[in-house]
Structure 1
Amino acid sequence: MTDDGAFSVPSFSCRHCGHPVTQPFVDLGVTPLCQTQILPGQFSAPERHFPLQACVCTHCWLVQLRDCIGSADVFTEDYPYFSSYSSSWVQHARTYVDRMVERLGLNAGSLVMELASNDGYLLQHFKPHGVPVLGVEPSRSVAEAAVAAGIRTEIRFFGREAARDLRSRYGAADLIVGNNVLAHVPDINDFVGGVQAALKPQGTVTFEFPHLLNLMRLNQFDTIYHEHFSYLSLHAVLAVFRTAQLEVFDVEQLSTHGGSLRVFGQHVGAGRSPSPAVQALLDEERQAGLLDAGTYAAFAEQAKATKRAILSFLIEARAHGKHIAGYGAPGKGNTLLNYCGVGTDFIDFTVDANPAKQHTFTPGSRIPIYPPDHIREARPDYLFILPWNLKEEIMAQTAYIQEWGGQWVTPIPRPEVWSAPVGRSAPT
């Protein structure tokens, strides 16, 4: 710890470029793995906790966690995240598929490969177009759901070796899709190198990931957790792509996950010239200070300020006899709960639409998780939305809390109270 309260970083090697990493970004304490659920019989058992400290490499500008866990610790056979439980995310996938079929001219002679294909939420939309697909998913629980839905899926981790094997058995891919996976891989060079090995000479790869610039501008510290090994700017992605002999030729800014990027890549020299959007975004990142170590050093205080504001709201609400329930049990929610030290002293329970999470407890904070209909039974005064990126969808689904005067709370970028679903009134 330094004199100004920042944590010091013993040098470690950047997982992309290998240069020493010493620049702190934010310290979120010591927390459990956030995509685990605690069964009733495990309630009193010890739980593994790991340091959650993010740093930035000032050579390639990749923000990253120090290595303390591996992919196998996270993406286990009973990994509980199923993408299909978010209707807005499924619609996002459908829109993407329709656009890519038209833009790339995909047909029955093409092959689409999705990395971290989860339960088939995206690949299912290629079926009506007659486009062959292959999912690659390391977690058996969600992969088997995809197979049951008729989505051809390989249950394995992806990298160069897997890519060569898959290419030999299925052929090279016209389109490789990676939505919210690039940040999840500890060996980012092997993963992107695998993309290069599995992609046709004129093929396209698209990656979607939360944009580091939005994380910093909107104080989304809760999107930092052990399952996210990297936090990505366009500058960092260009550096990783160059190492794998890939290049970005287009980029789109999306509203998903609090503000994401969709990058379009190809083999170096494949012929498509970069769109003006690529340079425009690089310029925006540079002007925002993403190539300045001081910008990263200042972020930690933003997280602390929001933590204090969240706790102030919760303390005041409870002091006035208000009951608070959570909505959702996402990874980001567990980071927020553990960093802020919030348990059942503030939040009575939370709910989740995913049956795999119901009737368990959140890691670390030990808040019980129920099915969504428990909200009607408990009639809380506030519904604290942990997956705040889905607030419009959740508010619409739970509009009935207005029957008893219930209100919603979103914690990021700062706590706000809403008296009606978004679009019907301003926050109170």
Structure 2
Amino acid sequence: MNGPGKIYNTINKCRICGADSIVDLINYGEQPLANSLKKHRDDVEQKIPLTLSFCKQSNHVQLKETVNKELLFSDYIWVTGTAASTKRFAKEFAQRVIQITNLQSHELVIEVASNDGTFLVPFKELGFSNVLGVDPAENLKTAALQNGIETITAFWNKNVSEEIIKKRGRAKVVMARNVLPHVSQIFDVVEGIRCALQDDGVAIIEFHNAGTILNELHYDSVYHEHLYYFSINSICYLFEKYSLYPFHADPSPISGGGYVLYLSATRKNKSKSLLQFMEQEESNKVNSHESWNRFAERCVEHKRLSREIIDKYYGRRVIGFGASARSSTYLNYCEFNSGNIEAVIDNNPMKQGQFTPGSSIPIISMEGGLRRKPDIIFILAWNFRHEIINLCRSKGYRGDFIVSFPFEPKVIQS
């Protein structure tokens, strides 16, 4: 499927350094696009190989297949503001950004891939009203405008950055939260971030940490939207090409464990926390080929254990919770379907009434799920597991839970 007009192509050189030294780690099989929910159970789906690879020169972990970005992102169903914990973190995030960057109320804040504007809303609430979102999904622009966030519909790049500069001037802060792993034309995106910043501006990059993926076995985060799996080492290598230098990092709870990295156009002393994270990465051998080969072996074992747990509940009512993109890789890799999991609860109304990609499991509301009186609830959106367990308990559910990640799948008894 390589070539013009095709929906994907396969790389043979590293996405970061360009070396032809990439090797396969694990193939998760032919997978549907993780956010391509189906209107009907029997809808025909396009399936694409999903192969995780490693570059022996840059030590960067990356996906081998690149899917057409218009197919992936022009109509997007992941809505940032769905989870209450995300909204709480958005408020903390804004306060932290204001503190570290010394942001002034008149200065421009841009968010790249701003989704429904959830992470810009707290800035306005705190009196920093000069905010702007940029996102390619027209349906999310509508949601953002309802949240009071001005949003441009576009794929971020240097040209978009220059157009914003003409109309609004340069920004004190450009944020890109969990977006860089998604972009095939990453150099254009990073150049656009650098271009948009004023001289004392700060780029703020949030990303799912490769070290956490490696250690806690987050292979469900591997899907076609995620082309890059950054360590601090590899993401700093990328940004330093464009004269943006890291000076601070905070931990992020999003995606089950990540970093918020702060970069400036002038070299500054690295903060204690950033130095500590870099040392941890080195001691944990996050950038080692051998470590990632072991990761692949652990994925195979995790699949076996997941099948073993679900097989014990054969003939009983298993209801999933969280029809997330990352659950799609997990469900399809483990070959689960509606014969194993009767339905999946999701609190996003845009997903309800549809079917999970590949596995063809109906997606229903929480009320609909609990009315089915599940024998056990299988938490697929495990990074929100505490919130989900508390919510289910508050609605009267007293049964057990299966939690898919981190580490090995496990049963949490009531």
Using structure 1 for the length normalisation, give the TM-score. Answer: 0.91
Amino acid at match of 1:274: K
Match 1:378 to one of 364, 372, 379: 372
Aligned equivalents of 2:310, 2:169: Cα separation in 1 = 55
Please state if 1:110 is matched with 2:104.
no
Match for 1:235 among 220, 233, 236?
233
Q: Cα RMSD (Å) of the superposition?
A: 1.6
- From the superposition, tell whether residues 216 and 271 of structure 1 become closer, same or farther in structure 2 (CA, over 3 Å): closer
1:292, 1:62 → 2: CA distance? 9
Per the TM alignment, residue 163 of structure 1 is displaced from its structure 2 partner at its CA by 1.2
1:255 aligned residue? 253
Aligned to 1:27: 27
SS of 1:39 mapped into structure 2: coil
Identity of aligned residues (%): 28
Q: Deviations over 1:31-84 (max 9, x none)?
A: 0000111002xx32321001100111222222111233122111023x111111
Correspondence list, 1:58-73, <5 A: 58-73=56-71
1:280 aligns with 2:273: no
Instruction: Find the aligned partners of 1:370 and 1:286 in 2 and give their Cα distance.
Output: 44
Question: Aligned with 1:298: secondary structure?
Answer: helix
Letter in 1 for 2:194: Q
Q: CA deviation at 1:200?
A: 1.0
One-letter identity of the residue aligned with 1:411: S
Aligned counterpart, 1:182: 180
Distance 2:251 2:81 in 1: 23
Question: For residues 155-196 of structure 1, what are the alpha-carbon distances to aligned partners after superposition, in whole Å with 9 as ceiling and x for unaligned?
Answer: 100111211121121111101111111111112221111110
In structure 2, distance between residues paired with 1:275 and 1:68: 35
Q: Which residue of 2 aligns with 1:218?
A: 216
Mapped pair 1:306 → 2:302 = yes
Equivalent in the alignment of 1:424 = none
Q: What is the deviation of 1:11?
A: 7.3
* Contact 2:11–2:64 (CA under 8 A) maintained in structure 1: no
Tell me, which stretches of 5 or more residues in structure 2 are unaligned?
1-9
Identify which of 105, 125, 140 aligns with 1:128: 125
Alignment of structure 1 residues 35-46 onto 2, 5 Å: 35-40=35-40, 43-46=41-44
Q: 1:402 to 1:418 in 2, by over 3 A?
A: farther
Paired with 1:91 and 1:280, the residues of 2 have a C-alpha distance of 26
Distance 2:199 2:256 in 1: 34
Q: Deviations over 1:113-155 (max 9, x none)?
A: 0011100111111112221100011111111110122211111
Over 3 Å counting, the alpha-carbon distance change for 1:283 and 1:102 in structure 2 is: closer
Quote the residue 2:4 is aligned against: none
- The answer (yes or no) to whether the contact 2:11–2:65 under 8 Å persists in 1 is no
Q: Please say if residues 66 and 227 of structure 2, whose CA atoms lie closer than 8 Å, have aligned partners that are also in contact.
A: no
Structure 1 segments unaligned to the other structure (5+ residues): 1-9, 421-428
Please state how far the C-alpha of 1:322 moved relative to its aligned partner. 2.3
Runs of 4 or more off by more than 3 Å in structure 1? 400-403
TM-score (norm 2): 0.94
Match for residue 425 of structure 1?
Answer: none
Q: 2:390 aligns with which of 393, 396, 400?
A: 396
Question: 1:271: how far off?
Answer: 4.8
What's the counterpart of residue 326 of structure 1?
320
1:165-176 correspondence to structure 2 within 5 Å: 165-176=163-174
